[in-house]
């Protein structure tokens, strides 16, 4: 009698079950890493926009002003790269500004850090919290 080659149905089902368990572990971890990477890009972008605002402050026609509503944020590569993950906004007065990155789309699931902000004093916050622990974990 010839020996048959191949897999039994039981072996195939065990293999599929193991692969399914690995996917259940790997996919959420991968998505978490993607959100963390996007958040890192957003914080770098906010820092770059903050530097832009400081250049506006020192080089405007009326020195020592952020130009209020007249100031428009430049179209930076980081903003276009993050179009589907964050919405950036500027709230500027004559002597103050706040830059904000609102999470949207798949990034909205990042509930621990949420909305990221930075102001003219360099005070950073995540989800409205500017404590050292929150800044260390989110910025």
Average pLDDT, the chain: 89
How distant, in Å, are the alpha carbons of 9, 10, 11, 12, 120 from that of 3?
17, 18, 17, 19, 78
Res. 70: pLDDT tops 90: no
For the residues 87-102, what does the mean pLDDT come to? 93
Q: Is the pLDDT of residue 62 over 90?
A: no
What's the whole-number mean pLDDT along residues 22-51? 93
Here the tokens at position 59 are 């080089």
Model confidence band, residue 61 (pLDDT cutoffs 50, 70, 90): low
Query: Does 1 score more than 70 pLDDT?
Result: no
Who has greater pLDDT, 19 or 68?
Answer: 19
Residue 8 — very low, low, confident or very high, per pLDDT cuts 50/70/90? Answer: confident
Distance separating alpha carbons of residues 85 and 105, to the nearest angstrom: 6
For residue 16 the two structure tokens come to: 């599929």
The predicted model scores a pTM of 0.81
Distances (CA, A) of 125 to 33, 50, 80, 132, 133: 21, 14, 22, 9, 11
| Angstrom distance (rounded) from CA 80 to CA 33 | 20
Residue 73 is predicted with a pLDDT of: 86
Q: For 74-88, write each residue's pLDDT tens digit.
A: 888 999 999 999 999
């Amino acid at each position: 009698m010839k020996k048959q080659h191949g897999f039994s149905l039981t072996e195939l089902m065990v293999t599929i079950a193991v692969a399914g368990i690995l996917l259940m572990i790997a996919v959420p971890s991968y998505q978490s890493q993607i959100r963390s990477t996007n958040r890192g890009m957003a914080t770098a972008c906010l820092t770059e926009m903050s530097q832009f605002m400081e250049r506006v402050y020192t080089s405007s026609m009326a020195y020592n002003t952020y130009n209020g509503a007249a100031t428009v944020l430049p179209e930076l590569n980081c903003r276009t790269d993050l179009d589907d993950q964050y919405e950036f906004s500027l709230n500027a007065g004559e002597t103050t500004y706040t830059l904000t990155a609102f999470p949207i789309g798949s990034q909205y699931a990042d509930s621990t850090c949420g909305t990221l902000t930075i102001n003219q004093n360099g005070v950073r916050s995540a989800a409205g919290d500017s404590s050292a622990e929150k800044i260390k974990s989110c910025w």
